[in-house]
Amino acid sequence: MNLSHAYGPAQAHKDAVAFLQRAIDIGYDFLDTATIYGMGNNEKLIGEALQGRRSSFLLASKCVMGFKDGKRWLDGSPEAIRKACTASLERLRTDVIDLYYMHRPDPNVPIEESVGALADLVAQGKIRMIGLSEMSAETIKKAHAVHPISAVQSEYSLLTRNPEIAVLQACQDLGITFVPFSPVGRGFLADAPLKPDEYHESDLRRTFPRYSEPHFSQNLALLDIAKAQAKALNCTVGQLALAWCLAQDKTCVPIPGTTNLQHLEDNFAAAEISMPADVLAQLNADFAPEAVSGLRYSPPAQATVSTERYEFEMRAQ
């Protein structure tokens, strides 16, 4: 996503192509994109950059959240899902998508109908596995009853631990792989602190309470804690955040996004970091959900997901 939008202008096309090719060279073998990323341009980028290397990685994309005339829309109807898949296959220059997610739940379409359409795509050989993104444990269970769900994606990091309420357990019970997105806290969990007053006008973090003032400054004390722990383990803060994810759920597959080559290499190396039990326990205590200032989403963004929230978050809404 970062290569095409969300945290500022899209990366220059030539640089983005080289970046993706470098990722595969390093050993990355799971790439996550979506119809909505760059209004389809991110899928086109992957299709172009990695021609001839399709067998080197597992490809994931997403439907339901799409675009028309430059504007976003949400449509989980079977017809829309079929059309979105056909368009994604063309942009990605492939005949099959390994893992195809519902990007968001559509409140106007029963989850059973949407998953039924995805099951048809599996039967047709257009996708191999079905995934869900930002959905509640209850929705996951309903979907899984229609067709096996292979992966569930949701925001999960030291700063955002909502999946621990119910989604992680649901995934474990059903044998579903959990895929944490934004595992480095949308760039907050890094050695160089973010600067909210320097966010680009298109940066999504401008709309997320905990990444803007007054909450941002209040959360810097947590960043100091992470820096100290990272220093003790001789790793970067980003690597600490990823190692924490992997220690919390040893079967999860975090998908850190970056446009920085050094971070690309650092993130890959995080899998080699051993997280001592006492450090894990201390991080879990220091980064207790109620210790983080500010909600993770603005009200409009929160309305698009069905993931569980803590009681204190509900009161603060």
Residues belonging to the active site: 37
Report the phi/psi class of residue 40: left, alpha or beta, with left for phi > 0 and alpha for psi in -120 to 50: left
Provide the 10 A C-beta neighbour count for residue 197: 8
Alpha-carbon distance of 34 to 178, in angstroms, equals: 18
Q: What's the one-letter identity of residue 179?
A: V
State the residue for tokens 């090719």: 21
Alpha-carbon distance of 265 to 254, in angstroms, equals: 15
Distances 282 to 39, 143, 159, 181 between C-alpha atoms, Å: 41, 36, 14, 23
State the residue for tokens 């997403």: 62
Strand order in the sheet with 177-181: 30-32, 58-63, 97-102, 127-133, 151-155, 177-181
**How do 71-74 and 65-68 pair as beta strands?**
antiparallel
> For residue 252, which phi and psi values (nearest 5 degrees)?
-75, 160
Within the chain, residue ranges assigned H as helices are 13-26, 41-49, 78-92, 111-123, 137-146, 167-174, 215-233, 237-248, 261-269, 277-286, 299-302, 311-316
Tokens of 296: 């993770």
- From first CA to last CA, the distance across the chain in angstroms is 28
